[in-house]
Structure 1
Amino acid sequence: MASISVFQCVYIVFLLACISDFGYGDTVFDVMKDGAVADGKTDNSKVFENVFQKACQSEGTNVVLIPQGTYLLYPIILKGPCKGQVEFQIKGTLKASTDNAHTINVDHWISFQYIDQLVLSGGGTLDGQGASAWDDNTCSKDPNCKSLPISLRFDFVTNSRISHLTSINSKNAHVNLFACKGIMIDNIHLQAPADSPNTDGIHIGTSSTIEISNSIIATGDDCVSMSPGSQNIHVRNVKCGPGHGISVGSLGGSAGEEDVSGLLVTNCTFTGTDNGVRVKTWAKPHASNVFNLTFADIIMENVRNPIIIDQRYCPSASCVQGDSQIQIRNVKYGNIRGTSSTKIAVAFECSKVKPCQGIELKEINLAYQGADGPVASSCSNVKGVASGEQKPPSCV
């Protein structure tokens, strides 16, 4: 965990540097001065692109200011590299389009690419207007379904911070990180109805050294999800629910996937979620590894599956079942307490051909008040140890 400790030191320095809206000598680019219209009806994507390019091509620290007001914004790509540091200060409300031309088969709403030292902050709101598109989400039935926009995409972004923002009603995921490194996400609020499809809070893939902290995530899918290539991720002080919990996976859906390692989830609270802390893999013949995961000091409040490893993940009835080739090892659970909404509070369904190795349970206290008997555990193909209080009784 040494890399996480170093990252936390860098985080503190960076946080202090970004604590004020504008620093001495910063150049401010106000979108209103370049023709933005804050009436909630006029598309501002060209204005925002032009202002961003001015800031991006300037040396020093450059602030793109979006003042209070409501701005309609069509899908936009803001692409570096930049000559200096760019800070995006969103004070107002950005609204996504609801028409099909800017929604169906579009994978982004606001996309940042190839930028180093980006700051995205300001206390404003991003309204994805997802209710206009959720009925068009057919992905649970059609593997070739058309994509819907992710509210905030970050591709190849490094050493950056996202903070003090609210995102509501995303059409797809709220935040997506791909090929990113050194990203700090803090004090954000992500919200969508519990039945809104695929509205993950933060989805991470092929990225490393990511810290998510002091945030509230209430969506219709995973609060935080980590796909192949996620390494050295720290999630702390996050309130999750409703939603599907914090998940590693799903993994093993395709050949050649990268390993997932170095996840630390601490001091989080789950309320009314379908899952708490989960690892999920497809029962398919694609091999990779998941290792060095720690879940500690966690509160579960009426959670359906507080602790779960599911290596026969199948969200539909059409899965071809086999044996998962994902090797899961060195997973620690410590000081996890609260209530389960189902009898089985701890469930490890691991692969027959690659059993889970090095599973550790310490100080687990999960209660269940249902009529079908006392709280219980369920284990298949798992090797590990348990110590301290074990409620339910450990099957490891």
Structure 2
Amino acid sequence: MSSISIFHCVYLMFLLSSISKVGYGKMVFNVMNYGAVADGNTDNSKVFECVFNKACQSEGINLVLIPRGTYMLWPIMLKGPCKGQVEFQIKGTLKAPTDKASTVNVYYWIAFQYIDQLILTGGGKLDGQGLAAWNVYTCNVDPNCKALPISLRLDFVTNSRINHLSSINSKSAHMNVFACEHVTFDYIRIIAPKDSPNTDGIHIGSSSNIDILNSIISTGDDCVSLSSGSKDINIQDVKCGPDHGISVGSLGGVRNEEDVSGLTVTHSTFIGTENGLRVKTWARPYSNNVFNLTFENIIMENVDNPIIIDQQYCPLRNCKKGDSQVQIRDVKFRNITGTSSSKIAIAFDCSKSKPCENIELNNINLTYNGAGGPVTSLCSNAKGIAIGQQQPPSCIYRSLQHLY
């Protein structure tokens, strides 16, 4: 239970002289002045909610300060719109609960909704305590499985920055971005064991103009994943691994999905990942489009599937073979170098009824030193061009590499 009642919170709002100015116009709301307890056991969710609401309803620039220390925090929803700009500065460690009521069939741990110009920063840490929940994860075998909480959920957040934060051991995805615009993630560190289930680093859906920069992501599922409606996503100077790499999809699994377009991944490194650059779709009769993807200046270090398009994606048992109706086109792989841990370094398994169109392989240099070499590529229903160096030799349909 909370260490502070709602009545007590309202009372403190009127009586505590707990607000100070830092620089011109910035007001600081220190959670310790409102009754927060940094003992790692006391639930601080009501305190944090009260302090956030006070800052949110104040005009100007307002800073919610969480000093160093360890704060237990039950699931919390922090909701705008706000009258001014709110900066949530986390210097301490926030710990998630491990009880069943706060874990099973719960969709978030910390959520921000309907906020413009939010800043999350401070150098602190979000500890999801996922070890207590991973053993009850069944979604890999049960489509009707119970949800586990996402550590940080952003819904309808705009013109915002999340930087200098760490997320460890999330129960489900570390960070989820839905219906957001113009949000930048910078200097983020995400850590969970490579066998932790469904712990995507940053998952994006129905959002546009999202930047992920200068970050390290080492987790159990996709480093970054894009679902339907992701548009104009920029990933730069990110180190992934070990995890499942950067994935577009899965797509085409349900009706009426939005298109995915405008992804750019540059100057990034993949170390020991299960996949590198991946597009994955279900072989089901639901159509949408994936287009204008650019992967450039990428280093692979011992990556199992460095470049892969999989239109027969099926993580469940007994999937029926079929033709995906997702059209993939205008995908560029440029200056991709390094080592593959499998003989097949490039695999394009595209739909027979909607072949991949305008695939570009430009200066690819991937080597493999394992048994059964040399490195090779495998293509099905993929059309495009190969330019410059091609290691492994390109198998793409209508290859034009002899012209260069």
TM-score > 0.5, shorter chain as reference:
yes
**Do the aligned residues in 2 keep the contact of 1:328 with 1:355 (CA within 8 Å)?**
yes
Tell me the distance in 1 between the aligned counterparts of 2:39 and 2:362. 55
* CA offset digits 1:84-124 (Å, max 9, x no partner): 00000000000000110100100000000000000000000
Do residues 125 (structure 1) and 125 (structure 2) align?
yes
| Structure 2 equivalent of residue 142 of structure 1 | 142
For residues 1-396 of structure 1, what are the structure 2 equivalents within 5 Å?
A: 23-396=23-396
- The aligned amino acid for 2:25 is G
**What SS class does the counterpart of residue 187 from structure 1 fall into?**
strand
What's the CA shift for 1:317? Answer: 1.9
**Do the aligned residues in 1 keep the contact of 2:363 with 2:389 (CA within 8 Å)?**
yes
Tell me the distance in 1 between the aligned counterparts of 2:141 and 2:329. 33
- The aligned amino acid for 2:268 is C
**Do the aligned residues in 1 keep the contact of 2:141 with 2:317 (CA within 8 Å)?**
no
Tell me the distance in 1 between the aligned counterparts of 2:265 and 2:185. 14
**What SS class does the counterpart of residue 48 from structure 1 fall into?**
helix
- Note closer, same or farther for the CA distance 1:51–1:340 as it changes in structure 2 (3 Å cut): same
Tell me the distance in 2 between the aligned counterparts of 1:362 and 1:320. 34
Listed as ranges, the gaps of 5+ residues in structure 2 are: 1-20, 397-404
- Note closer, same or farther for the CA distance 1:22–1:313 as it changes in structure 2 (3 Å cut): farther
* CA offset digits 1:140-191 (Å, max 9, x no partner): 1110000000000000000000000000000000000000000000001000
Tell me the distance in 2 between the aligned counterparts of 1:373 and 1:129. 42
| Structure 2 equivalent of residue 4 of structure 1 | none
- Stretches (4+) displaced over 4 A: none
Tell me the distance in 2 between the aligned counterparts of 1:152 and 1:39. 22
What do you get for the CA RMSD once the two structures are aligned?
0.9
Instruction: Indicate the structure (1 or 2) with the bigger Cα radius of gyration.
Output: 2
**Do the aligned residues in 2 keep the contact of 1:334 with 1:363 (CA within 8 Å)?**
yes
Tell me the distance in 2 between the aligned counterparts of 1:316 and 1:83. 47
Tell me the distance in 2 between the aligned counterparts of 1:254 and 1:313. 14
Tell me the distance in 2 between the aligned counterparts of 1:325 and 1:194. 32
Tell me the distance in 2 between the aligned counterparts of 1:32 and 1:136. 35
**What SS class does the counterpart of residue 221 from structure 1 fall into?**
coil
* CA offset digits 1:278-299 (Å, max 9, x no partner): 0000000000000000000000
Scaled by the length of structure 2, the TM-score of the pair is 0.92
| Structure 2 equivalent of residue 14 of structure 1 | none
Listed as ranges, the gaps of 5+ residues in structure 1 are: 1-20
What's the CA shift for 1:22? Answer: 5.5
**Do the aligned residues in 1 keep the contact of 2:35 with 2:47 (CA within 8 Å)?**
yes
Tell me the distance in 2 between the aligned counterparts of 1:68 and 1:42. 15
Tell me the distance in 2 between the aligned counterparts of 1:276 and 1:190. 17
What's the CA shift for 1:322? Answer: 1.4
**What SS class does the counterpart of residue 160 from structure 1 fall into?**
strand
Scaled by the length of structure 1, the TM-score of the pair is 0.94
What's the CA shift for 1:25? Answer: 2.1
**Do the aligned residues in 2 keep the contact of 1:22 with 1:63 (CA within 8 Å)?**
no
The number of residues matched between the two structures is 376
Tell me the distance in 2 between the aligned counterparts of 1:332 and 1:387. 11
% identity of equivalent residues: 71
Tell me the distance in 1 between the aligned counterparts of 2:40 and 2:73. 9
